[in-house]
A and B are shown apart, each in its own frame.
Chain A
Amino acid sequence: DAKTTQPPSMDCAEGRAANLPCNHSTISGNEYVYWYRQIHSQGPQYIIHGLKNNETNEMASLIITEDRKSSTLILPHATLRDTAVYYCIVMNYGGATNKLIFGTGTLLAVQP
């Protein structure tokens, strides 16, 4: 599975959009991009995932560049409760031994 690179930390003002970048320059054609977050020491929470097209759900939007080498997770109106570590993971879902490999992620601190 391709490796991802994320900034270690970011700040965002409450109510503003949080844009979290992720580089995955070695991604292959059948690998999806997944975003999870972990709030304090809770279980990882699924946010969104995509293959090629931009995706949006009730939590966030995922923008994937045309060459698929990078993506951005957008939280449109960040709240204090969005303070968490955000993980960008790429995985080939169709493989027999798929597993989500967590890196160090981005610690997003939402400031009041």
Chain B
Amino acid sequence: NAGVMQNPRHLVRRRGQEARLRCSPMKGHSHVYWYRQLPEEGLKFMVYLQKENIIDESGMPKERFSAEFPKEGPSILRIQQVVRGDSAAYFCASSPASGRGGLPWFFGPGTRLTVL
């Protein structure tokens, strides 16, 4: 059973370009969460999605960042017009459907975004 997959693992963009980060949850998991880790800092929650719905985007920057989790295919975190401050590791996690108490989340290996 494959774990959470993220690609690309490393992404280099110049200022002003767009970055697209993809996350495929574990089989049977319908909830996806995105986190960002700036250099030498902790993990910060960004957004929580279920299929075709954004449940909680309280940690998303107000501009340039968006996320989706379509009915088919991976979840996408999109950053428009990247700036150097967007350089970070972006992790996604997945979990089974809610209502089943106490099941753990599993994280992917992350995408390391470098903005030149």
Contact = CB atoms under 8 A, between A and B. Distances in A.
B107 interface: yes
Interface of B: 4, 33, 35, 37, 42-45, 48, 55-56, 89, 91, 93, 98-110, 112
A112 interface: no
Nearest to A94: B101
Contacts of B35: 102
Interface of A: 30, 32, 34, 36, 38, 41-46, 49, 51, 93-94, 96-105
A42 B110 contact: yes
**A interface: dominant SS:** loop
Nearest to B108: A43
A104 B110 contact: no
Contacts of A102: 35, 42-44
B110 A43 contact: yes
Contacts of A103: 42
A49 B102 contact: yes
Given A34-B104, A93-B101, A96-B98, A41 B89 contact: yes
Contacts of A51: 101-102
Contacts of A105: 42
A43 B5 CA distance: 11
B56 A46 contact: no
A103 B44 CA distance: 9
A94 B99 CA distance: 6
